[in-house]
Structure 1
Amino acid sequence: MSRKIKLEDISIRDGAQCLWATRLATDEIVPIAETMGRAGFDIIDVTGGAAIDTSIIYLRENPFDRIRILRELMPDSRLNFNTRGQSVFRWTQYPDDVAELALRVFGKAGIDSVMLFDPLNDMRNLEFSCRAAKNLGMYTIGSVTYTISPYHTDEHFVEKAKELVAMGVDAVSLKDPSGLLVPERAQSLIRKFREVLNGQALQLHCHTSTGTGPDVHRAAMDLGDLTPDVFHGAVPPFAWGTSHPSHEFLIDNLEERGFTVDIDREAVREMEAYFTGLARRRGMPTSHEVPDDPAMLVHQVPGGMLANLQRQLTEQGMADRLPEVLDEVSRVRLDLGYPLLVSPMAQYVGIQAVLNVVTGDRYAMVPDEVRSYLLGYYGATPGPVDPDVLDRVIGDAEPITRRPGEVLEPMVERFAAENGPFESDEALALAIFYSKTDLEKWNCKDWDGYRATPRNALGVLLDTVARDPRIRSFRFERPGARTVVSFNEN
């Protein structure tokens, strides 16, 4: 029998985050959820940092309700939550008891898989969350995040994979959030990762932001027995562009190479048809091209960060200075010891670069988060920090060298005593992570309301047509069946 390769679906979390600014509501997912559940994915990625922030701040939804309803509709699927370890799903570093509380409430809501990553590849920041997740019976995926710098060598990445293996993760993911991998480097790293794994599955999480993505995935598939066990993909309109390859692309290329992929293609096509129809109703693109952006391999600024930089400069009337800022991003990254340009470090580096360009005096203004980073509260820097910058920003202050979680005082009991009572641990967790202003204006949709949402694509079609006063009749056809529906004027 040929070797079986699995797929992880990232459509509704990472795909929507990359291409729809995460503006995908739960009631827009419900109609297709059962189909997603029977498609045969190894894991379905459902929530994480930006998705949770958006649900609270923009969609006015309870993020735990999304998990509960998807668990009900996909009872046999492994549902994944993305966590930054010590930062959980926000940007601030939290003490261990907050990380444990968050994992517990997500697990109770229905999460049974966690993908752990750290913006500095400082795996100490994942140790506690990994242990807590395993104690809760969750499947654990440890990510080694790829970037390019003098200090991010193959040896660096392999050492990080070893640290994850020592933690006891169930899978190791080679994570390329900016699409910076090229085929030869991908093959080299996959071969070396295979040498240090101890029964863990190997995943490939590679965006297609620069144009190298299709060739990187094909190169990974050409490794035969060393080929990753799981590939991450999406359905259009959440595939390609700055997102991931489509499932059809992955399945076709894997099967061409003799692998077996136990995925229900009809279910995948139904997902694509449903989300394409949703995109049309919302006026969103229904497909995306693979960018050809070799410049990104130099400045490494991901798409979301680039959009934020453009907006900030436009607000300052300085949109024409974007090239200067991109150059400054590279300089700041070097100054700060080459942090990865992923959240939250991407935002911190970008803000510092804008301040340096706008003020004309480098590091005259420094955000508190950059100062905390240089003091070690986000973990160890990948490379050495420029000593002049370090002296200017922190002066005589002594950076910490211990795991940040160890120096942060426990806060859950104190916070609950000072701000409670809370009706549930979920309410307590949300109050810790969000301001009273955010939660006071939060008029969330009720979970019971989702139960009234049509639970399949045909139900959505009928509901949409019935509510549109312009439609008097329509015909629905499929092989072996034809239905004609007419509406009276009342």
Structure 2
Amino acid sequence: MAKKLLIRDLTLRDGQQSQFATRMNQNQVDRLLKSFNKAHFYAMEVWGGAVPDSVMRYLGEDPWDRLEKIKAGVGEASKLTALSRGRNLFGYNPYPEDVIEGFNRNAIKSGIDIMRIFDALNDIDNMRSTIKYVKENGGMTDCCICYTVDPKFSTKDKIKAMFSGKKLPDNLFSIDYFVNKAVELEKAGADMISIKDMAGLINPAMSAKLISALKKAVKIPIDLHTHCTPGYGLGSVLMAMVNDVDIVDSVIMPFAGGPAAPAFELVQVFAKKLGLETNVDLAAVKEIRTELFKIRKELAKFDQYKLFPKDFDPTDKLPAEVEKLFDDAIAAAKKGDTDTVTDLTQQIERYFNFPKPNEVVRMAQIPGGMYTNMLAQLQAGKIEHLLPKVMEMVPIVRLAAGVPPLVTPTSQIVGTQAVSCVINLNSGKAMYENTSVQFVNLVKGGYGHTPWPVDPAFREKISGKREEQ
């Protein structure tokens, strides 16, 4: 009997959010539901993230209506997933307990089967209420650990820290860090664990080590969620598959690649060659893919790349040289040759006309959206020449704020403050003369416990109080 690989399709939430600013309207969604009902993905992420906000703000539609119509169309063929920010729900600030309870109760009543829960600081205390209320109302809890990497400090910063007697974090976000979080989440009631890599920073080598370690540490299923922005996505998914990951997140081809997750069709080719059964109906996926190409054209004004991938079906015969790329990538993955895996999977994506890796994001090791937002702020003031200084400032500000993972909303908070600090210094002002309310709250502890302790003297300087809130 073939081993199973479960597929969570992200097309209707993360796919369209990453590629087209979450602008799919209800009519466009409705056109896909009959085919999604036949596709039988294990799960479909359809709600949460930016979807409810965008549906109301830009489309004038009802997000609850969106969810209920998807549930009516898909039925029990796939488990519907929503992305929740724990105590912040779909917002950016903590909500009271009764709101968290009522929201989760109604989300499950309206069609959500799996609530995917994350906290920007990986503070599990911020996730406990949602875990509790989802389970009480009959839902499944997919508890995320936000993947991130340590700040990259310049030589100057390292020397300065050494002479000031201040310790810089070293290997803070280690394998043990993520494994310990997973063990704690399993004890807290998680039904599955997702490594949620919003920036696509997990490389194939780390993917292999982390998935292998997690499979040994917990009994519940492990899911890998990553993006293709810096060029690691497909290779990291392959390494996860070779190391027995239970669930993989992917997007149907016209909405995949670049800032989004890897293409399902390419994952399916690897799965078949590895003897893994996804149980996805490929004829139904073909129907969805055909319609998505049309919808992508309709969303042209929101399409940042305007680079359409080839129309490929996993049942198509590949050219011999492309077939060899897949076979060689699998051989390299089984040997643990992750550099070759990265090279070959990038060649595969290049053949299918996906966007090339974003080298700025890869080198800076920050999310693409964070980089774009900082650049936009500088361009608005016609001071984009300060970007290199802002990039150097990011790890300094991040360290001062407790080394938060760079995901929503902390990536925006740290990025905006880094821009502000550079502008202040460039104007002859004190570095932290201007601080956002959000940055002050982050330093105070208003968002939760940070992975690295905030210096009490810095907290007092910024917020007026030495002790964490």
1:325 matched residue in structure 2: 390
1:260-314 Cα deviation digits (max 9, x unpaired): 1211111111111101111123334333624323442443321222222222212
1:208 matched residue in structure 2: 228
1:10 CA drift (Å): 0.2
Whole-angstrom CA distance in 2 between matches of 1:251 and 1:11: 16
Match of 1:291 among 356, 369, 372: 356
Whole-angstrom CA distance in 1 between matches of 2:135 and 2:212: 27
Whole-angstrom CA distance in 1 between matches of 2:355 and 2:295: 22
> Does 2:280 match 1:263?
yes
Whole-angstrom CA distance in 2 between matches of 1:295 and 1:313: 17
2:443 matched residue in structure 1: 374
1:220 CA drift (Å): 1.5
> Does 2:424 match 1:359?
yes
Extract unaligned runs of 5+ from structure 1. Answer: 401-490
Match of 1:340 among 405, 429, 441: 405
Matches within 5 A, 1:304-315: 304-315=369-380
> Residue 207 and residue 282 in structure 1: after superposition, are their counterparts in 2 closer, same or farther (change >3 A)?
closer
TM-score of the aligned structures, taking structure 1 as reference length: 0.78
Whole-angstrom CA distance in 2 between matches of 1:114 and 1:270: 28
Whole-angstrom CA distance in 1 between matches of 2:362 and 2:399: 15
Q: Is the 8 A contact 2:228 2:261 kept in 1?
A: yes
> Does 2:349 match 1:349?
no
> Residue 389 and residue 297 in structure 1: after superposition, are their counterparts in 2 closer, same or farther (change >3 A)?
farther
1:320 CA drift (Å): 2.5
1:195 matched residue in structure 2: 216
1:187 CA drift (Å): 1.1
Whole-angstrom CA distance in 1 between matches of 2:47 and 2:412: 20
1:397 CA drift (Å): 4.6
Whole-angstrom CA distance in 2 between matches of 1:52 and 1:164: 27
Extract unaligned runs of 5+ from structure 2. Answer: 151-169, 310-352
2:333 matched residue in structure 1: none
Whole-angstrom CA distance in 2 between matches of 1:176 and 1:270: 29
What SS is found at the alignment partner of 1:81? strand
Whole-angstrom CA distance in 1 between matches of 2:465 and 2:251: 49
1:27 matched residue in structure 2: 27
1:387-446 Cα deviation digits (max 9, x unpaired): 55323202335313xxxxxxxxxxxxxxxxxxxxxxxxxxxxxxxxxxxxxxxxxxxxxx
1:276 matched residue in structure 2: 293
Aligned residue type for 1:133: V
What SS is found at the alignment partner of 1:160? helix
Whole-angstrom CA distance in 1 between matches of 2:367 and 2:71: 32
Q: Is the 8 A contact 2:115 2:141 kept in 1?
A: yes
Q: Is the 8 A contact 2:195 2:223 kept in 1?
A: yes
1:386 CA drift (Å): 4.2
Whole-angstrom CA distance in 2 between matches of 1:249 and 1:160: 31
Whole-angstrom CA distance in 1 between matches of 2:385 and 2:24: 32
Matches within 5 A, 1:309-458: 309-360=374-425, 361-400=430-469
2:194 matched residue in structure 1: 173
Whole-angstrom CA distance in 2 between matches of 1:346 and 1:392: 22
> Does 2:117 match 1:94?
no
2:48 matched residue in structure 1: 48
> Does 2:222 match 1:222?
no
1:82 matched residue in structure 2: 83
1:241 matched residue in structure 2: 258
1:83 CA drift (Å): 0.5
Q: Is the 8 A contact 1:299 1:327 kept in 2?
A: no
Whole-angstrom CA distance in 1 between matches of 2:455 and 2:364: 19
Higher relative contact order (CA 8 A, sep 6+): 1
1:253 matched residue in structure 2: 270
1:433 matched residue in structure 2: none
Q: Is the 8 A contact 2:459 2:465 kept in 1?
A: no
1:485 matched residue in structure 2: none
1:163 matched residue in structure 2: 184
1:30 CA drift (Å): 0.3
Pairwise CA RMSD:
1.5
Aligned residue type for 1:316: G
Q: Is the 8 A contact 1:18 1:304 kept in 2?
A: no
2:313 matched residue in structure 1: none
Q: Is the 8 A contact 2:16 2:22 kept in 1?
A: yes
Whole-angstrom CA distance in 1 between matches of 2:363 and 2:100: 35
What SS is found at the alignment partner of 1:94? coil
1:110 CA drift (Å): 1.5
Whole-angstrom CA distance in 1 between matches of 2:299 and 2:417: 36
> Residue 293 and residue 386 in structure 1: after superposition, are their counterparts in 2 closer, same or farther (change >3 A)?
farther
1:453 matched residue in structure 2: none
Q: Is the 8 A contact 1:363 1:389 kept in 2?
A: no
Aligned residue type for 1:228: V
Q: Is the 8 A contact 2:148 2:197 kept in 1?
A: yes
Whole-angstrom CA distance in 1 between matches of 2:284 and 2:388: 44
Aligned residue type for 1:237: P
1:7-60 Cα deviation digits (max 9, x unpaired): 000011001111101111121110111211210111110111311111111111
Q: Percent of aligned positions with the same letter in both sequences?
A: 31
Q: Is the 8 A contact 2:24 2:299 kept in 1?
A: no
Q: Is the 8 A contact 1:176 1:205 kept in 2?
A: yes
1:3 CA drift (Å): 0.4
2:126 matched residue in structure 1: 125
Whole-angstrom CA distance in 2 between matches of 1:234 and 1:396: 46
1:328 CA drift (Å): 1.4
2:111 matched residue in structure 1: 110
What SS is found at the alignment partner of 2:292? helix
Aligned residue type for 1:389: F
Whole-angstrom CA distance in 2 between matches of 1:370 and 1:204: 30
What SS is found at the alignment partner of 2:396? helix
> Residue 282 and residue 195 in structure 1: after superposition, are their counterparts in 2 closer, same or farther (change >3 A)?
closer
Q: If you compute each CA radius of gyration, which structure gives the higher value, 1 or 2?
A: 1
